[in-house]
């Protein structure tokens, strides 16, 4: 491996070679920040948000406390809520009359109306609260002009937390209004029908023959309306050609229609679809 | 799940998490790199010593001293003469031997001395050239070995990706990072080897030219003496 005349320098050279490699290793360890920060953590938080409204469904929270709590910092608040309730009773009275006349028929209509009202109300409350917060912030910023930037960032964090709280409560309120879930269910059904209609339009019906077999497919959806994976055949029609025709139709229908309300998407993540191609 | 994988990206965990072929490639490359650096330092020392020896001998030779004395000084030394001194020793020994058998012709004596010097020169050159082919092959091959490891690792990373419906960069990033370590080590072995090879090759060339010109000049001197 080495010549006789090289022996006297071989140990020295070997030590130097090892030293060079240790230096490289040290440079690798020092110069690279191997443990990088990953901002992708936010993604997981968003997924938690999706499940929040469902969890809070059974615990009703009266909408009034929000206004009262938020009203404390500014005196203007007290005026505005007073203005707001005025439309409420007028609308509420109408359904009451209806109920007195024919309870059974108008029950659903009333619930829907209530629903809409309360939704509007919640939205208005939110807007008002935000506007008030903006006012309060303006005042505060005027007063705190001399304060350091740190305090501003703290305020911003607080503000964000407050907003998050308000959002959370508003989100929690909607389902508590008895028919809120029903309205959501209506939207879900509407879009479920839309999805089925779009897929049905793409099915090559001649492949399924004259009989009217039923197929069941499980599909996973992404928020963009695209499929997250291949559709899974749960119940076959009995004819492989027909199954494939429907599967192709599902693939061809991307992107599928989804409601613009992102909070409803959780109901579409895993869809079970039934088909009768010859309907 | 992917977050925890991406979070722990120290170089040790990268290497430990690599697949077996990639780890083999890494081990091979580290060993080659160690050897190539070892030879680089050995050659640095020996070529430098050969240059200073040539310098010293030329000084001693051209100061115009007695050649017999120079020869005796060389043979009396405990160490075997190296480089230019060994060429001189071989040539002068052969010349003196032929000179003692006085019936030989001058051209034959010169021819014999030349042959002896040529043989010593070849031995010296062989010593100078030692390990240079190894450095040359490390310089040309180790990037490919590293590239092989990288390609293998990236293939694995993407094969794992095909099982996932929603592909994200964080799923391939660790695999690609660990694969790229192979290329990095391959380059770390190759670059110094190529630089050292070129430098040593030119040093050996210059030394051999120096030896050859000394041989020619010494032949002339011997011819004048005889």
Which tens digits make up the pLDDT trace of A2-37?
A: 787 888 888 999 999 999 999 988 988 888 765 655
Residue B50 confidence class, pLDDT cut points 50, 70, 90: very high
Which is higher by pLDDT, A104 or A72?
Answer: A104
Contact B116, B93 (CB under 8 A): yes
CA distance to partner chain A, nearest, from residue B104 (Å) = 37
Q: Which two tokens stand for residue A131?
A: 């506007």
Is there a contact between A9 and B42 if contact means CB atoms under 8 Å apart?
Answer: yes
Q: What is the ipTM of this complex?
A: 0.79
Helix (H) or strand (E) holding A233: strand A232-235
d(CA A253, CA A198): 6
Q: Pick from B207, B45, B55: which is nearest to B124 by CA? A: B207
CB contact under 8 A, B46 and A10: no
CA A238 to chain centroid:
38
User: Listing from the earlier edge strand, what are the strands of the sheet with A270-275?
Assistant: A232-235, A215-220, A270-275
Q: What is chain B's percent helix, strand, coil content, to nearest 5?
A: 85, 0, 15
Supply the pTM of this predicted model.
0.52
Percent of chain B surpassing pLDDT 90: 54
Give pLDDT, residue B2.
38
Check B30 against A21: CB less than 8 A apart: yes
B178 chain-A contacts, CB cut-off 8 A = none
Mutate to test the interface with A, among B1, B41, B174 (most CBs of A within 10 A): B41
pLDDT, tens digit, for every residue of A107-162? Answer: 767 777 777 888 887 888 888 888 888 777 776 666 666 556 666 677 777 888 88
CA distance B206 to B204: 5
> Among partner residues B9, B39, B188, which is closest to A35 by beta-carbon distance?
B9
Res B214: pLDDT = 94
Compute the average pLDDT of residues A204-223: 78
Q: Which long-range contacts (CB under 8 A, 24 or more apart) does A68-72 make?
A: A70/A129, A70/A132, A70/A133, A70/A166, A71/A132
C-alpha A82: how far from chain center? 33
Interface of A with B (CB under 8 A): 2-3, 5-6, 9-10, 12-14, 16-18, 20-21, 24, 28-29, 32, 34-36, 38, 40-41, 44, 220, 222, 228-229
Closest CA to A162 of A45, A70, A39: A70
CA separation for the pair B127, A13 (Å, rounded): 17
Q: Average pLDDT of chain B?
A: 87
Interatomic CA distance for residues A130 and A4, integer angstroms: 87
Break chain B into its structural domains and give their ranges.
2-225
Judged by CB atoms closer than 8 Å, whether chains meet at A3 and B127 is answered as yes
Nearest Cβ partner for B170 among A2, A28, A40: A40
Q: B53-104 pLDDT, tens per residue?
A: 999 999 988 887 788 888 888 888 878 888 889 999 999 999 988 888 877 7
Q: Which chain B residue has the Cα nearest residue A1? A: B131
Residue of B nearest to A3 (CA): B127
């Amino acid at each position: 491996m080495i010549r006789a005349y090289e022996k006297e320098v071989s140990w020295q050279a070997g030590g130097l070679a090892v030293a060079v490699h240790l230096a490289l290793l040290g440079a690798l360890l020092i110069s690279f920040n191997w443990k990088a920060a990953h901002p992708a953590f936010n993604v997981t938080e968003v997924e938690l948000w999706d499940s929040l409204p469902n969890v809070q469904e059974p615990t009703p929270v009266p909408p009034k406390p929000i206004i009262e709590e938020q009203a404390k910092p500014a005196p203007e608040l007290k005026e505005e809520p007073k203005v707001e309730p005025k439309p409420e009773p007028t609308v509420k009275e109408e359904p009451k009359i209806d109920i007195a006349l024919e309870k059974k028929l108008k029950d659903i209509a009333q619930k829907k109306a209530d629903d809409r009202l309360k939704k509007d109300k919640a939205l208005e409350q939110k807007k008002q609260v935000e506007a008030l917060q903006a006012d309060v912030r303006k005042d505060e910023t005027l007063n705190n002009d001399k304060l350091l930037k740190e305090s501003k960032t703290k305020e911003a964090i607080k503000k964000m937390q407050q907003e998050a709280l308000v959002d959370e409560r508003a989100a929690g309120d909607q389902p508590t209004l008895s028919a809120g879930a029903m309205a959501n269910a209506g939207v879900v059904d509407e879009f479920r029908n839309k999805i089925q209609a779009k897929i049905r339009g793409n099915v090559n019906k001649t492949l399924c023959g004259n009989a009217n077999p039923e197929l069941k497919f499980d599909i996973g959806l992404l928020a963009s309306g695209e499929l997250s994976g291949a559709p899974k055949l749960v119940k076959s029609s009995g004819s492989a050609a027909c199954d494939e025709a429907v599967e192709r139709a599902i693939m061809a229908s991307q992107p599928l229609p989804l409601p613009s309300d992102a909070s409803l998407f959780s109901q579409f993540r895993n869809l079970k679809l039934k088909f009768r191609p010859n309907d | 799940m992917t977050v925890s994988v991406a979070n722990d990206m120290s170089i040790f965990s990268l290497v430990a998490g690599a697949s077996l072929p990639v780890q083999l490639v890494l081990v091979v490359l580290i060993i080659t790199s160690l050897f190539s650096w070892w030879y680089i330092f050995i050659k640095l020392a020996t070529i430098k010593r050969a240059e200073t020896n040539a310098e010293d001998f030329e000084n001693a030779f051209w100061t115009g001293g007695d050649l017999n004395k120079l020869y005796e000084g060389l043979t009396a030394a405990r160490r075997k003469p190296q480089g230019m001194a060994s060429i001189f020793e071989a040539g002068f020994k052969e010349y003196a031997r032929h000179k003692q058998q006085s019936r030989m012709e001058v051209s034959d004596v010169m021819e014999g001395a030349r042959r002896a010097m040529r043989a010593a020169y070849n031995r010296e050159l062989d010593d100078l050239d030692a390990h240079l082919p190894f450095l040359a092959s490390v310089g040309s091959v180790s990037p490919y070995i590293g590239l092989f490891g990288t390609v293998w690792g990236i293939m694995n990373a993407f094969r794992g990706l095909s099982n996932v419906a929603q592909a994200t960069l964080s799923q391939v990033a660790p695999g690609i990072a660990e694969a790229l370590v192979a290329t990095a080590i391959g380059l770390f072995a190759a670059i110094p080897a190529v630089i050292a090879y070129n430098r040593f090759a030119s040093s050996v060339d210059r030394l051999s030219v120096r030896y050859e010109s000394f041989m020619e000049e010494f032949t002339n001197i011997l011819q004048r003496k005889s």
